[in-house]
Amino acid sequence: MNKRHSESDLQRACYRLFCLCKPLEYGLLFMNHNNPRNAINGSLLKTMGLVAGVADMTYLHPDGVKFIEFKVDGGKQSEAQKNWQKLVESKGYTYHVIRTTKEFCDLMNIQLNGV
Domains of the chain, first to last: 3-108 (3.40.1350.10)
- How many of the other CB atoms lie within 10 Å of CB of 11? 19
- pLDDT confidence bin for 2, thresholds 50/70/90: low
| pLDDT computed for residue 18 by the predictor | 96
Taking each helix axis as running N to C, give the angle between helix 3-21 and helix 101-108, from 0 to 180 degrees, rounded to the nearest 10.
40
CB 112 within 8 A of CB 105: yes
User: Over the stretch 45-84, which tens digit does the pLDDT of each residue have?
Assistant: 889 888 999 999 999 998 899 999 999 988 999 999 999 9
Hey, which residues does 28 pair with through a beta bridge? none
Long-range contacts of 24-28 (CB under 8 A, 24+ apart): 28/59, 28/60, 28/61
Three-state secondary-structure class, residue 39: helix
